[in-house]
């Protein structure tokens, strides 16, 4: 089972000085910053998923790419743009349309021709057919005697349109002799409707099918859909789960035909989740919040209004950072550090009823970064556990991706199909410190 990491232009600056919190004056983002596969000396994923909606932007969801980056992607192609030659083994690049970006529209804003040209121009290895996502789940539609009125006509239209577009996509792919491998998209609102989509896609000629719209579903609902799909799935048909990560069920998913999946969860949990920010092999730890004064809008408002003294806030912020430095050096106890962290927390988050005391104590007592062998933890040390700024938070996300991939390998699922040879060593991640 292969793991594709969705691209959202997440890179880290190797020149960042964590003690002074400064960047090199000569740093150029596109040239110097590192993708996750350039950070680690062992594989962290099998490929990238690149969405047209993320590259181009649509509606309220703007592009994560600058105009120059979009031109660079089309001019150089994805392999050179992502510098996959620096990966530990070859990475596959899959393209999709990013149907979530236009979910509110009556129809996709792209033509099949535009999508084909985007995939081919970007030199992707795989390309997902143009689709229109369905986010409703109505299992009662599968019950005996259920009438058509159970499922809104708009959902039936989306499924029909997705299948029509898949037909056109495959026909024009063959006629145009495009080089990437095509995937058809199955959309549905129940186990049987998903199975019907898969059956139709196989009849068209697809042997690699992406399952869309399953992100909101519970694990039991996904399993029910996969079990129904398995009744009609040809032995040679591979399935891809779009945006779904359920580690505890991946072994079963594999038995039900899932050959690959993609998810941003390991990366995003590093800085989006309230508690599960740092992955270890058997536990998810809460990162220690020491927000920058300048990066905390609420604290900035309190300072501007005179409710909080900027000097006092700065003193507590620096005391928290110093406490962590001394803790790492063995000169502060867990209780001493927790007390200082909570004192700062009561200042920047007065109205919150969150109590991180127990979580912080667990994190500091176990100090999981000290026993992690990944390059991020070995170089950043305690900085990786600090919930503070994009450079620390994103590196923690990279660590999570690396750890998740190791967990995937531990399930006994084959993640080494793409290549057997190791690639070049990872580029360095430096931690600049005084003294």
First-to-last CA distance in the chain? 46
Q: Phi and psi dihedrals of 352, rounded to 5?
A: -75, 145
Q: How far is CA 415 from CA 365, 409, 410, 419, in A?
A: 33, 6, 10, 9
Q: How far is CA 123 from CA 85, 119, 132, 262, in A?
A: 14, 6, 24, 19
The Cα 372–Cα 395 span in angstroms is 14
The Cα 72–Cα 77 span in angstroms is 8
The Cα 310–Cα 307 span in angstroms is 9
Q: Which neighbouring-strand residues pair with 209?
A: 184, 239
H or E element at residue 92:
strand 92-96
Q: Tell me the HSE value of 344 on the side-chain side, using a 13 A CA sphere.
A: 25
Are 45 and 5 in contact, with CB atoms under 8 Å apart? yes
Contacts of 305 (CB under 8 A, 6+ apart): none
The Cα 151–Cα 408 span in angstroms is 37
H or E element at residue 297:
helix 297-304
The Cα 149–Cα 85 span in angstroms is 53
Token pair belonging to 342? 């909570």
Q: How far is CA 68 from CA 63, 65, 72, 75, in A?
A: 12, 8, 6, 10
Tell me, yes or no, if 96 is annotated catalytic: yes
Catalytic entry in 7, 13, 46, 96: 96
Q: Which neighbouring-strand residues pair with 269?
A: none
How many other C-beta atoms can be found within 10 angstroms of the C-beta atom of residue 304? 10
Are 166 and 206 in contact, with CB atoms under 8 Å apart? yes
The Cα 394–Cα 92 span in angstroms is 22
Catalytic entry in 10, 125, 262, 302: 262
Catalytic residues: 96, 262
């Amino acid at each position: 089972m292969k793991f594709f990491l969705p691209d959202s232009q997440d890179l880290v600056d190797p020149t960042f000085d964590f003690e002074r919190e400064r960047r090199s004056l000569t740093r150029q983002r596109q040239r110097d910053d590192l993708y996750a596969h350039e950070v680690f000396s062992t594989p962290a994923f099998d490929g990238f998923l690149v969405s047209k909606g993320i590259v181009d932007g649509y509606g309220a969801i703007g592009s994560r790419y600058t105009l120059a980056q979009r031109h660079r992607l089309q001019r150089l192609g994805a392999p050179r743009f992502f510098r996959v030659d620096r990966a530990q083994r070859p990475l596959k690049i899959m393209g999709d349309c990013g149907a979530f970006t236009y979910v509110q529209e009556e129809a996709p804003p792209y033509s099949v021709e535009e999508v084909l040209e985007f995939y081919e121009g970007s030199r992707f290895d795989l390309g997902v057919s143009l689709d229109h996502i369905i986010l409703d789940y109505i299992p009662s539609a599968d019950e005996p005697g259920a009438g058509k009125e159970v499922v809104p006509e708009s959902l039936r239209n989306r499924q029909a349109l997705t299948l029509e577009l898949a037909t056109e996509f495959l026909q024009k792919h063959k006629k145009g002799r495009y080089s990437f491998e095509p995937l058809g998209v199955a959309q549905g609102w129940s186990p049987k409707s998903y199975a019907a989509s898969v059956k139709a896609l196989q009849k068209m000629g697809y042997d690699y099918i992406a399952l869309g719209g399953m992100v909101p579903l519970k694990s039991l609902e996904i399993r029910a859909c996969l079990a129904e799909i398995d009744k009609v799935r040809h032995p040679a048909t591979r399935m891809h789960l779009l945006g779904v990560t359920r580690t505890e069920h991946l072994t079963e998913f594999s038995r039900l035909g899932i050959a690959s999946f993609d998810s941003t969860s390991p990366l995003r949990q590093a800085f989006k989740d309230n508690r599960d920010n740092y992955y270890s092999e058997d536990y998810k730890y809460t990162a220690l919040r020491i927000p920058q004064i300048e990066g905390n809008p609420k604290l900035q408002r309190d300072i501007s209004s005179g409710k909080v003294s900027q000097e006092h806030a700065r003193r507590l912020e620096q005391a928290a950072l110093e406490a962590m430095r001394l803790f790492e050096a063995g000169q502060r106890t867990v209780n001493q550090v927790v007390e200082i962290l909570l004192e700062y927390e009561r200042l920047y988050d007065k109205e919150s009823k969150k109590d991180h005391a127990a979580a912080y104590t667990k994190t500091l007592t176990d100090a999981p970064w000290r026993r992690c062998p990944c390059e991020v933890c070995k170089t950043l040390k305690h900085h990786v556990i600090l919930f503070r700024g994009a450079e620390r938070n994103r590196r923690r996300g990279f660590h999570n991706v690396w750890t998740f991939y190791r967990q995937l390998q531990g399930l006994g699922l084959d993640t080494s199909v793409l290549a057997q040879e190791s690639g070049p060593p990872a580029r360095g991640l430096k931690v600049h410190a005084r003294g």
